[in-house]
Amino acid sequence: MDPLPIKQDEPKSQPTRWMLKGTLNANKSIVSNEKLIELPPATSIPASSSFSKEGEVSALQMKFSVLLEQELMALPDPKLLAAIDPWMGVRYRSGGNSSQGIDCSAFTASVLSSYAGIQLPRTCREQYQQYPKVEKDEIQIGDLLFFRTRGRTVSHVGIYLGNNKFVHASSSNGVMVSSRSEPYFSSRFVGARRVPILSATESAFD
């Protein structure tokens, strides 16, 4: 297994914003032949809205629109994306809890701590036992998804982000976005749990 490079912290300056000159495509985030026009810096995006101003999107939203294959209006809370983004590409390390390496349950705990100040139990099994069950057809963005990747007990966890996609610390590729419909994950899916403070923005698996 080749470890992925550790993501460097992004500059603290105001992110570049872009205006779409054209329309959104129903199946893709942006029509490929449209142009992007750079705009002057704008105020930061409120956590409660996907857009700061009509027609403006952040680089972070553009990135996750591609990763999640979602239109911009369907993306999760930008504050949740901002909590996830620094971990993208960080390699997996069992028992790890830093940018030098992190495991799946430490990743979910770190993201939800940054996002909403929630202190999750440290292990995957404890997280599974701690929170209320969510039926498969009621899964929402922010719910925890659990899998059996080894043995007969829960051994892996990720965070659902909509469009059947979830983010997790993969033992083979580090922190990444995967699809729950991939045969490997669909055959090992155990169930979902909801951390109560998280609000729903989409009802889940297609």
Q: Which of 17, 91, 156, 165 is catalytic?
A: 156
DSSP 4: P
CA–chain centroid gap for 69, Å, is 12
Residue 60 burial class via C-beta count within 10 angstroms: exposed 0-12, middle 13-18, buried 19 and up:
middle
CA distance 6 to 202: 31
Asked about 104 being catalytic, the answer comes back as yes
Six token digits for residue 27: 């199946």
Asked about 141 being catalytic, the answer comes back as no
Asked about 148 being catalytic, the answer comes back as no
Q: Which of 81, 90, 104, 154 is catalytic?
A: 104
DSSP 23-84: ---SSSSS-TT-EEEE----PPPPTT-S-SSTTEEEHHHHHHHHHHT--GGGSPPHHHHHHH
The catalytic residues are 104, 156, 168
